[in-house]
């Protein structure tokens, strides 16, 4: 995908990918890049109050995990620290207060720890609610 440079903050990655008045954004689909551009435009306008923008951001990030992941990758590549921070906070909120088995369920992760290692971790850290 290619993008005009005024949508991104200059960085080493940006300088390396810049060709004329466009930059290359590898492994980012048009759909995801469109979402990132939508976020950039919304934040550039400055017409909304902080509360209105916060509500808009919450709705914007109310997407499935795959889309959230790709937004994060694109924002990181484009050096958009604010969007990276918002996506990171969204993920943190998704797992806050959950036990490890619940976190695995949220992210569809397999528990590949041998039972004896699980026991060792639990025995060594009684405050951890592992299962």
> How do the residues of the chain divide into helix, strand and coil, expressed in percent and rounded to 5?
65, 5, 30
Per the CB < 8 A criterion, the answer to whether 52 and 42 are in contact is no
Query: How big is the chain, counted in residues?
Result: 131
Per the CB < 8 A criterion, the answer to whether 104 and 111 are in contact is yes
CATH topology of domain 2-96: Potassium Channel Kv1.1; Chain A (3.30.710)
Q: d(Cα 54, Cα 52) in Å, to the nearest integer?
A: 5
What are the structural domain ranges in the chain? 2-96, 99-131
pLDDT at residue 23 in the model: 67
pLDDT at residue 111 in the model: 87
- Tens digit of each residue's pLDDT (9 = 90 or more) over 9-27: 544 444 454 455 666 778 8
Q: Pick the closest to residue 130 from 108, 99, 103 (CA basis).
A: 99
pLDDT at residue 103 in the model: 92
Average pLDDT (116-120) is: 85
- Tens digit of each residue's pLDDT (9 = 90 or more) over 47-90: 889 999 999 999 999 999 999 999 999 999 999 999 999 999 99
Residue 44 φ/ψ, nearest 5 degrees:
-80, -25
């Amino acid at each position: 995908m290619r993008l005009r440079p005024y949508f991104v903050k200059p960085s080493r990655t940006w300088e390396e990918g810049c060709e004329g008045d466009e930059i290359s954004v590898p492994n980012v689909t048009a759909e995801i890049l469109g979402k990132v551009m939508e976020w950039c435009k919304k934040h550039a306008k400055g017409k909304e109050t902080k509360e209105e923008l916060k509500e808009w951001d919450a709705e914007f990030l109310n997407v499935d995990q795959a889309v959230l992941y790709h937004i994060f990758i694109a924002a990181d590549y484009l050096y958009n620290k604010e969007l990276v921070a918002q996506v990171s906070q969204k993920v943190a909120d998704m797992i806050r207060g959950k036990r490890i088995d619940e976190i695995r369920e949220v992210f569809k992760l397999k528990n590949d720890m041998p039972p004896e290692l699980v026991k060792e971790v639990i025995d060594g850290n009684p405050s951890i609610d592992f299962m």
